[in-house]
Structure 1
Amino acid sequence: MTTKKRVCIIGAGMAGLTALKNTLEHDLDAIAYERHTAIGGTWIYMERKEGDSEEDVFSSMYYGLLTNLPKELMGFPDYDFDTSIEDSFISSELVLQYLHDYASHFKLAPHIKFEHEIMRVRPRKNCWEVIVHDLKSDMFLVELFDFVLICNGHFSMPFYPNTKGLNQYRGQRLHSHLYRKPDVLKDHTVLVVGGGPSGIDIVHHIYQHAKHIYLSHHLEAAPRTDFMPNVTQKPDVERFTKDGAVFKDGSSASFSYVIFCTGYKFTFPFLSVDCGLNVDFNYVYPLYKHCLNINKSSMAIIGLPHQVCPAQLFDLQVRFVLTYFTGRKKMPSESEMLADMKADMEERWASGVTKRVAHKMGPRQVQKSMFDYYEDLGVTAGIKKLKPVVPKIMKACSRKYIFELDTYRQSRFKVVDDENFVKIA
């Protein structure tokens, strides 16, 4: 008689679900702990209740959001979206339904413990001790696991810039994490700080309600906003004033509302200090291939990279680490993994990547060697790689949210086979 190895999965969002599905298929005993009442993570729409802090609101989903990527890239490689859905760019509700369908299809529910919050993970001799708070019974449980997969996401702890004069600003302020509906901005003059996908999309979401919008960003190529006549683009904020801001080009503006679309902090409050991981301004280290804990190689973080095809990447990362967890491939030595990480990060630092975006994959996706990170995972572990059609569709969508914001979601994609797709205007 042999006992199956036990795997603790933290979170039951998109990353946690594919971690659970793949782990079970590798004949491991897996439990996913989810502190909320349902699966879906950031795809769940939730309003902020009276008295809730930012940390209490785990989802950043706002009303009416449509995906930035077509559904042909949003699904897992072994489970497609409902074929009756004609549009490619779909609502968050349809993505959430897809996750429920995925969990149902692979019979994941019996392996998920809802309203169970991970309080502490710490290494013991040859295993992990996990302290879990059962929120319904208010009891604390101590469990032992052979492996830990951290799938808690990184869209719950807002990051605010430390801009001079912000404390003097008397207007209203909000992080995109808590933005929900555009009607609260009716007749306001609004400053949106940040030119990433969320910043540009929120500008598009509110421009028919706000009186005027200033979009502050440092993108090399200015996004196309001519179809939104009440939008003025500005460089980064130099300093805030009582009723507005002075920008780095010397110009100024007054406004009554600020929305910070400035990203999130990576945080793992449940990890003990002896877990072997460090977080330095969103640079998490030491990690082999941005996911495997080099100091404690029976632990991995799934979903740390951003500007990715999320479901595709999560599935690939999980299969990558499971190759080593199950012994199907020998774990590299600590020195080999550290050398690999050092070479990768030195290349990133040299190209101008900062610690705040140390795990960003976006720029690499549009270069000649696109999807090199995904390819590296597949080749290194000897596992099934992404279907070639995935990077082809990604290339066809690249940066459309910047230059074709008013029209790009009208396109439809149809996957013909693993290699090819067609685009329908």
Structure 2
Amino acid sequence: MDEKKIAVIGAGIMGISALRRLSENKRFLLTCFERNYDLGGLWVYTDQTENDVYGRKINSAMYSNLQTNLPKQLMQLEGFPMDEKCPSFPTHTDVLAYIRKVADQCDIRKYIKFNTEVQLVTPVSENTQDTKWLVTYGDNRKKNDSQVEVFDAVIVCNGNCSIPNYPMIDNEKEFGGLVIHSIRYRRPELFAGLNVAVLGASHSGMDICHDVSKHAKKVYLCHRGSKLPTFLPANVTEKTSGFKRFTSSSIILDDNDIIQIDAVIYCTGFKYDFSFLPEGILEVGQNGVVCNLYKYILPRQYSTIFFMGLMRLYILFFPYGDHEASYIKAMLEGSVDIPAYKERIEVIDDDSKRPWLYNSHWEWDKELAGIAGNFEPFQSALKKIRDHVLEVKAKDFSKFRLDAFKITGSDSFEIL
């Protein structure tokens, strides 16, 4: 196999996973572009919420008290167990230290250009399957810095939690209190003694609601959906209704209920940013999910650009990234044939019709492992731990992080 120049965009956990696996093949000449000053992606915490000293937009959604909603056994890369002293549900500091440890043990910092923004990625030969790619990039600490380099392949790992998804609520500008998105949330003390409305009850909504409730006077957890079965703190009131419009001191809900508030936190998710890519290479369908990639990795019109972390997994995001990287490595090495255009279209169409439930992702990983042939699918013990966490979380959100786990076999675990 001839040498291949490969660009990796982003040095978060997906980029680190790609570099770790691809660096095992010395014929891959790797360059990773990272816009931040260090690796770690969204796990790089900062108290700043708007711009850094160079005027760059802050893109970290970390907050001071954040702990993972998965135990460490479900957040490890193969061959790199988290330290035994690390808590069962790590803090963001623990996770960042782990990512850095993996990077340093694999000696992959040498591939990373820090403070470097990718401005444009364009095919040398448009709509040619095996095209090379022009990558335009520059040092984002310098004005108008721009360079162009040709690569044989590109792996896009720029994440999906850096562009906040703001809802459009009528009369928001009339409201006299504080309105922020969860990406700007850092410390609950800011809301001491206030009446706070949290919009959204998914992972970040529930977590921030509990965090804020320790200092706020009253918290309204607002969401469109069925009443949650979990216990909530005494000063939290659940509202199964979304926002209709603001007044100067309140929010009117969809059901016309009026709540007097001092602050709003939007926990309404994030949007993708692929503005540096050719138009039409990606399509975002229902629920904000990219819907036109073979196995959520490979576009139909090109066989030399790959994507990682786009499947909306709520399980094992770290080890799944390792599996995606292993699969991409196999395709680049030629040990796995890249499906023809027609086959990719058929698979993309079939996958778009699949119902995605929590258990579907385990089957998905088995399918990917069967195609790649260079990694084993997740142990069933991991699914059992995940199921246990989900069960406890559904009953009492405040208690699901109290358990610690030990894997005792491929399909068994103990609660310590």
TM-score under structure 1 normalisation? 0.89
- Cα-to-partner distance string for 1:215-264 (whole Å, 9 max, x where unaligned): 001343514234x1110000222512312222233422111100000000
2:366 counterpart (356, 369, 375): 375
Alignment of 1:10-409 (within 5 A): 10-27=9-26, 28-48=28-48, 56-85=57-86, 87-125=87-125, 126-135=131-140, 139-226=145-232, 228-242=233-247, 243-273=249-279, 276-279=281-284, 282-306=288-312, 307-348=314-355, 364-365=357-358, 367=359, 371-384=362-375, 385-398=377-390, 400-409=392-401
Q: Which runs of 5+ in 2 are unaligned?
A: 126-130
SS at match of 1:398: helix
Instruction: Output the CA distance in 1 between the equivalents of 2:204 and 2:391.
Output: 13
Alpha-carbon displacement from aligned partner over 1:334-357 (angstroms, at most 9, x marks no partner): 111111111121234xxxxxxxxx
Deviations 1:363-419 (A, max 9, x none): 522x4x561221221123233222332222222222543422221111001122443
Question: How far off its partner does 1:280 sit?
Answer: 5.1
* Number of residue-to-residue matches in the alignment: 404
Q: Secondary structure at the match of 2:196?
A: strand
The alpha-carbon distance between structure 1 residues 393 and 169, as it changes in their structure 2 partners (threshold 3 A), is same
Tell me the distance in 1 between the aligned counterparts of 2:365 and 2:171: 42
Corresponding letter in the other structure for 2:345: L
Q: What amino acid is the match of 2:235?
A: N
Q: Cα gap change, 1:23/1:135 in structure 2, threshold over 3 Å: closer, same or farther? A: same
Deviation at 1:137, TM superposition (A): 6.0
Distance (whole Å) between structure 2 residues aligned to residue 30 and residue 197 of structure 1: 35
CA positional deviation for 1:50: 6.6
Aligned to 2:4: 5
Farther off after superposition, 44-53 or 333-342: 44-53
Q: What is the DSSP-based 3-state SS (H/G/I as helix, E as strand, rest coil) of the residue aligned with 2:160?
A: coil
Structure 1 CA distance, aligned partners of 2:411 and 2:278?
Answer: 45
Q: Secondary structure at the match of 1:347?
A: coil
* Contact 1:214 1:233 survives alignment (8 Å): yes
8 Å Cα contact 2:116/2:137 also seen in 1: yes
Q: Secondary structure at the match of 2:155?
A: strand
Would you say the 8 A contact 1:168–1:240 is kept in 2? Answer: no
**Would the aligned equivalents of 2:195 and 2:218 in 1 still touch at CA under 8 Å?**
yes
For residues 420 and 26 of structure 1, the distance between their equivalents in structure 2, rounded to whole angstroms, comes to 34
Overall identity of the aligned pairs, in %: 29
Instruction: Return closer, same or farther for 1:50/1:267 CA change in 2, 3 Å cut-off.
Output: closer
Give the Cα–Cα distance (whole angstroms) in 1 for the partners of residues 276 and 237 of structure 2.
43
Q: Distance in 1 between matches of 2:105 and 2:256?
A: 57
Task: Measure the CA separation in 2 of the matches of 1:136 and 1:258.
Answer: 33
Query: Once superposed, which parts of structure 1, at least 4 consecutive aligned residues long, lie more than 6 Å away?
Result: 52-55
Root-mean-square deviation (Å): 2.2
Q: Distance in 2 between matches of 1:145 and 1:256?
A: 52
For structure 1, which runs of at least 5 residues remain unmatched after alignment?
349-362
Q: 1:111 is matched by which residue type in structure 2?
A: Y
Please give the TM-score of this superposition, normalised by the length of structure 2: 0.91
